[in-house]
Amino acid sequence: MSKKKISKDTFEFPFDLEKAFIPGYFKKALNWQQEIVSFYARRFILYSEIREKLADCRSTHDVFELQSQFLSKMYFDYVSEAAVISEMLFDMAQPAIEKSQKTTETGPKETILKAEKDAEKIIKLAKNQAETIIEAAEARADSLIKGKKRPSKAA
Question: Residue 104 — pLDDT band, cuts 50, 70, 90?
Answer: low
What pLDDT is recorded for position 13?
Answer: 46
pLDDT tens-digit series, residues 125-136: 888 888 888 888
Whether pLDDT at 101 is above 70:
no
What pLDDT is recorded for position 9?
Answer: 52
At 121 the three-state DSSP class reads helix
Helix axes 60-103 and 108-148, enclosed angle (nearest 10):
170
CB contact at 8 A, 95 and 32: no
Average pLDDT, the chain: 77
pLDDT tens-digit series, residues 49-93: 998 999 999 999 999 999 999 999 999 999 999 989 888 888 877
The rounded distance, in Å, linking the Cα atoms of 144 and 72 is 20
The single-letter code of the amino acid at 44 is F
CB-count exposure of residue 92 (10 Å: 0-12, 13-18, 19+): buried
Which alpha helices (H) appear in the chain, and where do they start and end? 17-20, 25-55, 60-103, 108-148
pTM of the shown model: 0.49
Question: Residue 11 — pLDDT band, cuts 50, 70, 90?
Answer: very low
DSSP letter for 105, please.
S
Assign residue 45 a region: left if phi > 0, alpha if psi is -120 to 50, beta otherwise? Answer: alpha
DSSP letter for 56, please.
T
Query: Which of 4-8, 16-20, 127-131 has the lowest average pLDDT?
Result: 4-8
78: number of Cβ within 10 Å: 19
Cα atoms found within 13 Å of the Cα of residue 152, Cβ hemisphere only: 2
Residue spans per domain, the chain: 22-146
